[in-house]
Structure 1
Amino acid sequence: MPGPVSLAEQVKEVWTSDEGSMAKDTASNRWPKIVQGMVDDVAETAATAVDRPQQEEALSIQAALKEIKDDMLQNRVLRPLPSDGRDDIDGYNERLEQLGGKCTWLACPWLFGECYLYRRVQTIFALTHHWRDYDIFKRQKDSTFAKSCKAVEELSARYMQVIANSTLPGDATNEEARKLLFVEMTEVALWGNATDLSLLSNLSLDQIQSLQGREAIAKSQRNIVDNDTDAVWQYLSSPLRFNRRIDIVLDNAGFEFFTDVIYAAYLLESGLASVIVFHVKDFPWFVSDVIAADVESLFQHLESASIFPNRSFIDQVVPRLRAHFDSGAMSIKQHSFWTTAYSFHQMKALAPGLFKSLQVSSMVIFKGDLNYRKLTKDGLWPHTTPFKDAIGSMGAESGIKVLALRTNKSDTCVGVESQERVDALNEEAPHGVWIRNGKYAVVSFSDGEKTDGK
């Protein structure tokens, strides 16, 4: 006799055919534009190539990419992926079979279809000789980061001020100030996919503790619809009994990655963490996700006088950041599970080694919308569903302390405290705008324990 159906199994996954959904708009409009951008990028690189075989391969790559775009526009069935030597291909093709072999671009599970898109693109490059390690999104990453130079300078200046304040002796007054600094730096990491740093208080220590400072921070938190920052602070501010390792599963390269590294450095230098492990993708993924090469690329950009002619604070920050990597206090790690189409509900069964590694971590921070969608199985949960329930095997009794920092940019959002709050959000930003426009966010925490509640 089959066992009881779990809550996660009952929840409908978002499909690209769902009327009025972000999924449908993305599949119909955004995906073809992204693929055309890939075609244009390869053409631009090939135009400067001196190697004839490389140019010839570029033509075949462009043809394969155009075929994907045409399949999208014609709403054709998703075809099985060719083997490129990596084990994850079987998982994609098995899922296609489970879906009946009839899923089309405009009628498939959104999370699977989107992962399938980037994995299919990777097979094109992996099966070449001259383009095997090519990052088709690097040009876009570099351009976007260069445009964020003012925000980088502002954050560098603020960071040096924060570090001066965050190492104060631990009396009661200073402890409260340390918490407010933690709130501010966590919000920098939360909103790091936007180069608008208007949320930075730029307040002195005395100002932070004033009524005006408290009000400024409270205002900045207004659009965080599930806010567990207090619980995270309570956990991290407890005395260190052993080395505290914090893992950060990264999202976007460029400015957001810079904010992540700044946040990690803050956690280290304020004594809230001992070691930081950044989890990067194995290959170019979802346009701008961080891959291993983006780490050195970040430092090359930061050290570029042409991008950053105003170097007063950047020259103070960069050596500190490099020193953390050189000492091993910061490091990067890769795992093939991050570029599968599986939700994190399946990690324990399909990637047990990774799951056990995260259990050893003091806290795992998942950045961005895709990681949030994978945590919650991209399900259309009631918005009041507790975060710990929505993340399934990563939640209660997992032994993993999970923190999700995510601006709302898709159809899934959980952890809202009450239906009254949901109703107010729907009135404030009707038609689901508050879960899609990137102006609202969550700071969601699960302690990984059996206890009820969030």
Structure 2
Amino acid sequence: MPRGDLDAPEPLGNDPSGYGWKVLRERTPKLITEVRDRHPYGPEQRRALDALREEIASGPMRPLGEDAPDRARWDRWGAAYFDRPWADAPFLWWESYFYRRLLGAVGFFTPGPWYWVDPFEYWKAAELRDATVAVPAAEERQALLLASLWGNQADLGFLFGAAGDLDASGGLVADDGALVWSALDAGGPHHVGVVADNAGRELLADLLLIDHLLRTGLAVTVTLHLKPHPYYVSDATTADLVACLRRLAAADGEAAAVERRLSEAIGGGRLRLRAHAFSCAPWSYHRMPADLAEEFGGHTLTIMKGDLNYRRLVGDRAWPATTPFAEVTAYFPGPVAALRTLKSDVVTGVDAATLSSLDASGGDWRTGGTHGLIQARL
């Protein structure tokens, strides 16, 4: 039966053996310190960042300030969690709220010198400068799909908590890639949605995949869903898309041609950009508003990129890993595929033999960023 009732428990941040505890106790303080030290913020921003770090460590979760433009909305969303320890809130909820609070601390939403200045742009720009732009041949379409998947390793928030370099040595724990291509090859016309995750190298790989879909006629339109403002360090906004297009244009050969085709597709309405406010909400897609559900329902296929979108798609819950992906996504309004590098505990759709082998390996295959998946419910 469909798992629309979300009957598995939500991970919190109060289990010292859990991944959420590690993120709360290690990654978030480190990120606050890095943001503080990498910018010439004044005393007000520095005090606010220090206070946020102290609140997460030892104080109860506080609501947004009185002057926050979205205070009323977050007051409703956080009524069950405010004035309690951060660790007592669901992992997905408090992690989303953390990034909203960080933006508030640096004055992102307040008219003034730091208004709408992305506090994560420093890392995004550095990562994009270092990115190598290589365009696979047209017939190597599986390489494009895998590049889009493994590009998800370039998660700057993850890197704040990771040790050493990432690699893809673990391979795929589930691979529905052939099903995805078969669905795109059949029928039509296809209107594909791509829900972006990270900026930089991952978004570059996503753009190469989108160009392939449009250029080969596998899709007559592609809708690229971006974030309306900075979120989770490296999540892609429209500004990040523009930066990637400029990076492609500055490269030699076919990469520059990709930029020209994509820019023309945007101008002609074949590549459509969306930045819905729900993209930065602390909820799974089970709670998406009607207008977003209608848009997803109009896609022939929606491709969800990355770890956070996967958590939101299946519900950030402690599903048994063998729970069928099709069951937990049955509520979603249309065919959907997930391309994800595993960087958190939640996973579904792993067959029993594969699961047994992975668990016996003794590695952190769920959270280490070395394993990936392609899953589809068509």
TM-score, shorter chain, exceeding 0.5: yes
Q: Distance in 1 between matches of 2:263 and 2:15?
A: 46
Q: Distance in 1 between matches of 2:174 and 2:371?
A: 10
User: Which gives a bigger RCO, structure 1 or 2 (Cα 8 Å, sep 6+)?
Assistant: 2
Q: Distance in 2 between matches of 1:238 and 1:221?
A: 33
Alignment of 1:83-162 (within 5 A): 86-87=69-70, 89-99=71-81, 101-123=82-104, 124-148=107-131, 151-152=132-133, 155-156=134-135, 158=136, 161-162=137-138
Q: Distance in 2 between matches of 1:370 and 1:85?
A: 25
In structure 1, the residue matched to 2:258 is: 317
Q: Distance in 2 between matches of 1:194 and 1:118?
A: 20
In structure 2, the residue matched to 1:173 is: none
Q: Would the aligned equivalents of 2:339 and 2:375 in 1 still touch at CA under 8 Å?
A: yes
Q: Deviations over 1:199-234 (max 9, x none)?
A: xxxxxxxxxxxxxxxxxxxxx997211222222222
Shift of the alpha carbon at 1:283? Answer: 0.9
Match of 1:422 among 350, 355, 363: 355
TM-score, length-scaled by structure 1 = 0.75
In structure 2, the residue matched to 1:234 is: 182
In structure 2, the residue matched to 1:250 is: 196
Shift of the alpha carbon at 1:41? Answer: 3.0
Q: Distance in 1 between matches of 2:358 and 2:329?
A: 23
In structure 2, the residue matched to 1:445 is: 376
Match of 2:235 among 262, 270, 289: 289
Q: Would the aligned equivalents of 1:223 and 1:441 in 2 still touch at CA under 8 Å?
A: yes
TM-score, length-scaled by structure 2 = 0.89
Q: Distance in 2 between matches of 1:106 and 1:390?
A: 26
Q: Would the aligned equivalents of 2:169 and 2:370 in 1 still touch at CA under 8 Å?
A: no
Shift of the alpha carbon at 1:392? Answer: 5.5
Equivalences, count: 363
In structure 1, the residue matched to 2:172 is: 224
Residues 437 and 8 of structure 1: is their aligned pair in 2 closer, same or farther, counting only changes over 3 Å?
Answer: farther
Q: Distance in 2 between matches of 1:222 and 1:61?
A: 42
SS at structure 2 position matched to 1:435:
coil
Range moving further from structure 2, 362-371 or 325-334: 325-334
Match of 1:42 among 39, 56, 81: 39
Q: Distance in 1 between matches of 2:286 and 2:327?
A: 11
Q: Deviations over 1:75-124 (max 9, x none)?
A: 2111112355655x43432343224x443233321101110011122334
SS at structure 2 position matched to 1:225:
strand
In structure 2, the residue matched to 1:299 is: 245
Q: Distance in 1 between matches of 2:66 and 2:192?
A: 35
Q: Which structure has the larger Rg? A: 1
Range moving further from structure 2, 121-130 or 228-237: 121-130
Residues 345 and 299 of structure 1: is their aligned pair in 2 closer, same or farther, counting only changes over 3 Å?
Answer: same
Q: Would the aligned equivalents of 2:314 and 2:329 in 1 still touch at CA under 8 Å?
A: yes
Shift of the alpha carbon at 1:303? Answer: 3.8
SS at structure 1 position matched to 2:375:
strand
Q: Deviations over 1:56-87 (max 9, x none)?
A: xx3312221121112123x2111112355655
Shift of the alpha carbon at 1:325? Answer: 2.4
Shift of the alpha carbon at 1:7? Answer: 6.3
Which portions of structure 1, spanning 4 or more consecutive aligned residues, are displaced by more than 6 angstroms? Answer: none
In structure 2, the residue matched to 1:21 is: 18
Alignment of 1:345-364 (within 5 A): 345-347=286-288, 351-364=289-302
Q: Would the aligned equivalents of 2:144 and 2:205 in 1 still touch at CA under 8 Å?
A: no
SS at structure 1 position matched to 2:79:
helix
Q: Distance in 2 between matches of 1:446 and 1:317?
A: 30
In structure 2, the residue matched to 1:382 is: 320
In structure 1, the residue matched to 2:331 is: 393
Alignment of 1:258-273 (within 5 A): 258-273=204-219
Unaligned runs of 5+ in 1: 47-57, 166-180, 196-219, 448-454
Shift of the alpha carbon at 1:187? Answer: 0.9
Q: Would the aligned equivalents of 1:122 and 1:283 in 2 still touch at CA under 8 Å?
A: no
Q: Distance in 1 between matches of 2:312 and 2:25?
A: 22
Looking at secondary structure, tell me which structure has more helix per residue: 1
1:434 maps to 2:329: no
Q: Distance in 1 between matches of 2:13 and 2:111?
A: 31
1:65 maps to 2:49: yes
In structure 1, the residue matched to 2:342 is: 408
1:275 maps to 2:221: yes
Q: Would the aligned equivalents of 1:61 and 1:125 in 2 still touch at CA under 8 Å?
A: no
Shift of the alpha carbon at 1:33? Answer: 0.9
SS at structure 1 position matched to 2:181:
helix
Q: Would the aligned equivalents of 1:365 and 1:402 in 2 still touch at CA under 8 Å?
A: yes
In structure 1, the residue matched to 2:269 is: 328
The one-letter amino acid of 1:182's match is: R
Unaligned runs of 5+ in 2: 155-167
Q: Would the aligned equivalents of 1:118 and 1:286 in 2 still touch at CA under 8 Å?
A: yes
